[in-house]
Structure 1
Amino acid sequence: MTDFASLLVPDRGQPAHVLHIVRAAGFDEWLNAQPERVRAAVAAASFKAKPGEFALIPGNKADDWSAALGVGDTATPWDLAPAAARLPEGHYRLPDGHPGIAALGWLLAQHRFDRYKQAEPMPQRVLLSGDPARIEESVALARAVAMVRDLVDTPANDMGPAELQGAVEDVANQHGASTRTTRGDGLEQGFPMIAAVGRAAVPARAPRLVELEWGDPAHPRIAIVGKGVCFDSGGLDIKPGSGMRLMKKDMGGAAHALALADLIMAARLPVRLHLLIPAVENAIAGDAMRPGDILPSRKGLSVEIANTDAEGRLILGDALAKAAEGDGGIRPELIVDFATLTGAARVALGPELPALFGNDEALVAALLAAGREVRDPLWQLPLWPGYRDMLKSDVADLNNAPDGGFAGSITAGLFLEKFVPADLPWLHLDTFAWNPSAKPGRPKGGAALGLRAVWAMLENRYTPDRD
């Protein structure tokens, strides 16, 4: 992975080129304060400080040059990304010290997924920070986002249930956490919906539930759950080829959950963490689950399968039920799940805006506020009680895919709600985990959407006195 720590370092007076951040609304004021040679260079470059515009400004000596970057009127994590991708190799300094939230874009603009394709060597562009205390936080966030991107970008032939289990174990080993994996007969008996979704991929890509535990048992217990469908063919309700093309990303929820767990453990957040990742491949074989099948669940509810392509909610249902049980009689005080769950959420909100559901309005409000704070937006959709009847089945307790397609993301959320006790605060993020087109600092491919918001909310909740 990219060595982000080498790209953002303390400012100890090292020689560096100045990088001027110029907001469009303040362009004239900035320009009028510059010497004539700077104004001439800016005019020659047709620089007007529009977002993303970039200009090199010569100095009195050959190596005495600076640069100007146009940004929008509101600070974002991606303000520095265009410069980080285009500047020559070297060290740079901002006149105002630490880049704030824009440090993330500086770092991630220099990250590449190069597991399968040799890339040109990246020139190392180092930013000097005047606030050493914030460097570690910025680097940790960049590593977490890059982890999500790399896991999602890895194709299913190299990121099946076993490999996803291995990724969890690698993170656990880094932080002294414990793991356990349930598969085979134990999965059939304890987590029957996870087993049913993944049984067509047995034996080579057998389904499993991977769990991680970390932290002081005396601290508040929290549970993080991530949907780990490593590839989704749709099952017998098979997807068309165009719908299958990106289904390596259907484990994006698991990638978010694992990256969040890594942040929690690296920061030593005072919590008792329980991470749960149901890892499966929704394949097609003679023993694949069928439309019309009725599955038992860990919760004790029976579920009629109306559509085998609505499998993510099944594996999450069993995992949520387990998360809610807690350990030794101690339940978690909150559960957060991430899932690439419904196309309906993307139709409603597009690729950049995760749909947020929750059964605790104070917790939802805290997460929305955290998302605004770190510029990682979410949009709340309701767990509308009037739609619960859509989940009714004539022959089982629940139907996994209501007919008609109305309110698809809401009915999926209502399905998951059945597996969480009403008095246990729970948040569900229906995220896309993918950038369909490249932007500065955000290449086409895997994307972390909602991760930073949840991390900020947890930091605010469990370390309220931090600087």
Structure 2
Amino acid sequence: MAKKKAAAPKASAKLQIRSWIETFDIGKELKAKNEMTGFVYFLGADDSNKLQGLVEEHALAWQMESIKKNDKDFNYFVGLQGPVWILRPKGKNSVGHDGLLDEATYTWARDQFGSLVPHFKANQLKALRIEFFGTERAQELGALVGLDMAPYNYRQFVDGKHLADMPKVSLIKSSEDFDKALIKEASVRARAVTLARHLVNMPPNDLNPKTFAEMATKKLPFGKNLKVTVWDDRKLASEKMGLHLSVGMGATHGPRMVHMKYRPTKKSGLKPIAFVGKGITFDTGGLDIKPSSAMRLMKKDMGGAASVIALALWASESQYPGPLDFYLALAENAVDANAFRPGDIVTARNGMKVEIDNTDAEGRLVLADVLDVACKQKGSDDPEFVIDVATLTGAIKVGLGAEIAGLFANDDDLANELTKAGQRAGDLNWRMPLFDKYWGDLSSPFADCKNSGGGFGGAITAALFLQKFVGGKKWAHLDVYAWADRANGAIGSSGGSGQPVQCLIEFLESRV
């Protein structure tokens, strides 16, 4: 008798990102018997007396003298009852630049507490007591976000073992009750960052324009205050989005545009803000094919779209009080007989004719048509600002490295708000010039412009290209890396970094 084939496992209806900090016992003493227990103390200020008191409570006699002499902001020892970590921010001198690159109190706490999570695992802790002394709200939020971000690991997540090896926790704040609303705020923020990281980490044989669009329509737990619309290749053609279509012509799964329209339940006096994310789910470079070394990480070329959909999830879960629109410009830049070619002339949605100079300058093409859609909304949907996020150029990474996004903007106030938000959130960006003279590098004798220019100033010419499609709207462009080459701070494993989700959350929160 023939054996029956095993039924294929059913895919989960929703992509659920569990929160560790929401399992904490708030304000309750730790109940642990015969279990490996750890203790974490966060001194909000440089309190030497409190430090010495904690050392006397926990340290062995032979440890006390050396620990008390330690003037660092991080103390670790294994004491009478188990491992002990004592953190106290000592403050640092400004590096200049009007403080815009200085480490914020939120950032210090986030990365210090995030870096503790591997220690908890290494010590195989089953229980943990965390106590805050004299801390401020920003420090507490940072610590909680760091604790919630750091456990994420792609393999454990897909294997269903996320948080399986994390200890039970008692969280206490001295002298007053802990604000439980802060737990929710930190959890929603951390989940958004983790979602962006996870999407970037997904392999390109799983995440393509079709399945990415399904993330928005079927897989994510958006509330009723967010409506999702998907434009397939037929709709893109009817909208005359020739640039977007051209990039995805060589792929099995055609391009998509996803629009997530968030409107708060209560009437708001704020105008909408539109966010547009580049979503190239894999970038071969097209017919101008990349070398293998440059193609290795190109599953991350949808990092901009990942951050935008993560921001949409944050807005929906946190019940943001203002109207927001989120757009994903999705395509796969593949090599095929149908792929677009150098020398092709393609007409954009706004009527501009663009000569394809390089098929590996594809991100700006999908963004251009979708920016035109976002900027031409009418009436109450007319956006006050439009902000795009893209892993657009290698040139910006050469100049600013992996952790600082390049910021281009046609409005000084908007640029200043974003840079300050990035500093407060530990998700930095730095403003670069929209030097219009470089537009000449994109001139073409056959069309209105080319899609790429010479070797110098590549990040600037890319931004100048995008500016032609915003129709005079107040606009900002973030050129990001979206990847962590190694574990660091609250990023507990290499891979997607979630850049610039925290910056954009801070930017939106500062407006209300």
Do 1:4 and 1:142's aligned partners in 2 also have CA atoms closer than 8 Å? no
Specify the alignment match of 2:273 in structure 1: 222
Q: How far apart are residue 354 of structure 1 and its match?
A: 0.7
User: Does structure 2 conserve the Cα–Cα contact (< 8 Å) formed by 1:172 and 1:212?
Assistant: no
Q: Give the alignment of 1:203-352 within 5 angstroms.
A: 204-216=252-264, 219=268, 220-328=271-379, 330-352=381-403
User: C-alpha separation between the residues in 2 aligned to 1:49 and 1:360?
Assistant: 45
Deviation at 1:20, TM superposition (A): 2.4
Task: State yes or no: 1:55 paired with 2:55.
Answer: no
CA contact (8 A) 2:46 2:88 kept: no
Residue 419 of structure 2 is aligned to residue 368 of structure 1: yes
Q: Does 1:30 align with 2:51?
A: yes
8 Å CA contact retained: 1:353, 1:377: yes
Q: Is 1:123 matched up with 2:198?
A: no
The offset of 1:28, in angstroms, is 9.1
> 1:85 — aligned with what?
118
Once the 2 structures are TM-superposed, how far is the Cα of residue 46 of structure 1 from its aligned partner?
10
> Which residue number corresponds to residue 421 of structure 1?
471
Q: Post-superposition shift, 1:439?
A: 1.5
Structure 2 contact 44–132 (Cα < 8 Å) conserved: no
Does the 8 Å contact 1:15/1:91 carry over to 2?
no
User: 1:66, CA displacement in angstroms?
Assistant: 4.3
Map of 2:208 onto structure 1: 160
Residues 10, 131 of structure 1: 8 Å contact kept: no
The answer (yes or no) to whether the contact 2:304–2:482 under 8 Å persists in 1 is yes
Query: Shift in Å at residue 174 of structure 1?
Result: 2.4
**8 A contact 1:226–1:337 mirrored in 2:** yes
The one of 4, 7, 10 aligned to 2:26 = 10
| Cα distance in structure 2, aligned partners of 1:457 and 1:44 | 44
Q: Whole-Å Cα distance in 2 between the matches of residues 33 and 7 of structure 1? A: 26
What TM-score do you get using the length of structure 2 for normalisation? 0.82
How far off is 1:5 after superposition?
4.2
**Aligned counterpart in structure 2 of residue 137 of structure 1, from 169, 175, 185:** 185
Q: 2:22 touches 2:184 (CA, 8 Å); kept in 1? A: no
User: Per-residue displacement from partner, 1:204-238 (whole Å, max 9, x unpaired)?
Assistant: 31111111112159642221111010000000000
Aligned to 2:509: 459
Amino acid at match of 1:455: I
Are residue 148 (structure 1) and residue 166 (structure 2) matched? no
Q: Distance in 1 between matches of 2:401 and 2:151?
A: 26
Deviation at 1:292, TM superposition (A): 0.9
Q: Match for residue 174 of structure 1?
A: 222
> 1:382, 1:435 → 2: CA distance?
26
Query: Is this contact kept in 2: 1:253–1:433, CA < 8 A?
Result: yes
Tell me the SS of whatever aligns to 1:287: coil
Deviations 1:229-285 (A, max 9, x none): 000000000000011100000000000000111111222222222211111100011
Conservation of the 8 A alpha-carbon contact between 1:227 and 1:251: yes
Letter paired with 1:186: K
- Bigger CA drift: 282-291 or 261-270? 261-270
Secondary structure at 2:408 match in 1: strand
Any idea what SS the aligned residue of 1:225 has?
A: strand
> Alpha-carbon deviation of 1:185?
2.6
In 1, distance between residues paired with 2:384 and 2:286? 35
Which piece of structure 1 moves more, 387-396 or 157-166?
A: 387-396
In the TM superposition, residue 15 of structure 1 has moved relative to its aligned partner by 4.8
| Unmatched tracts of structure 2, length 5 or more | 1-16, 33-37, 93-104, 173-177
Q: How far apart are the structure 2 equivalents of 1:295 and 1:159? A: 27
SS at structure 2 position matched to 1:320: helix
CA distance in 2, matches of 1:421, 1:171: 34
The 2-side partners of 1:437 and 1:216 are apart by 38
Alpha-carbon separation, structure 1, partners of 2:352 and 2:166: 56
The alignment status of 1:109 with 2:150, answered yes or no, reads yes
Q: Which of 85, 91, 95 is the equivalent residue of 1:67?
A: 85
Task: Report the CA distance shift for 1:7/1:441 in structure 2 as closer, same or farther (over 3 A).
Answer: farther
* Equivalent residue, structure 1, for 2:486: 437
1:200 aligns with 250
Q: 1:393 to 1:125 in 2, by over 3 A?
A: farther
**Structure 1 residues 356 and 227, CA, compared in 2 at 3 Å: closer, same or farther?**
same
Preserved CA contact (<8 Å) 2:482 2:500: no
Task: Give the share of equivalent positions with the same residue, in percent.
Answer: 32
Change in Cα spacing, 1:282 to 1:9, as seen in structure 2 (3 Å) is: farther
State the partner residue of 2:14: none
Change (3 A) 1:266 1:23: closer
Quick one: which amino acid aligns to residue 40 of structure 1?
Answer: W
- Report the residue type matching 2:130 in the other structure: R
| Structure 1 contact 22–49 (Cα < 8 Å) conserved | no
1:157-183 deviation per Cα after TM superposition (whole angstroms, max 9, x unaligned): 001111110111146652122222112
How far 1:30 sits from its partner (Å)? Answer: 3.1
Q: Is the 8 A contact 1:224 1:337 kept in 2?
A: yes
The residue aligned with 2:5 is: none
2:63 corresponds to = 41
What is the DSSP-based 3-state SS (H/G/I as helix, E as strand, rest coil) of the residue aligned with 1:210?
A: strand
When residues 289 and 36 of structure 1 are mapped into structure 2, their CA distance, relative to the original with a 3 A threshold, is closer
Is the 1:58–1:66 contact (alpha carbons within 8 Å) kept by the matching residues of 2?
no
In 2, distance between residues paired with 1:170 and 1:227?
Answer: 20
Amino acid at match of 2:19: D
Does the CA contact (< 8 Å) of 1:302 and 1:397 recur in 2?
yes
Letter in 1 for 2:476: L
Please give the alpha-carbon distance, in whole angstroms, between the structure 1 residues aligned to 2:72 and 2:456: 42
| TM score, norm. by length of structure 1 | 0.89
Q: For 1:418-439, what per-residue CA distance to the aligned partner results, in whole angstroms no more than 9, with x for missing partners?
A: 00022x2111111101001112
Range with bigger deviation, 325-334 or 26-35? 26-35
- 1:256–1:9 CA distance, 2 compared to 1 (3 A): farther
Q: State whether residues 172 and 178 of structure 1, in contact with CA within 8 Å, keep that contact through their aligned partners in structure 2.
A: no
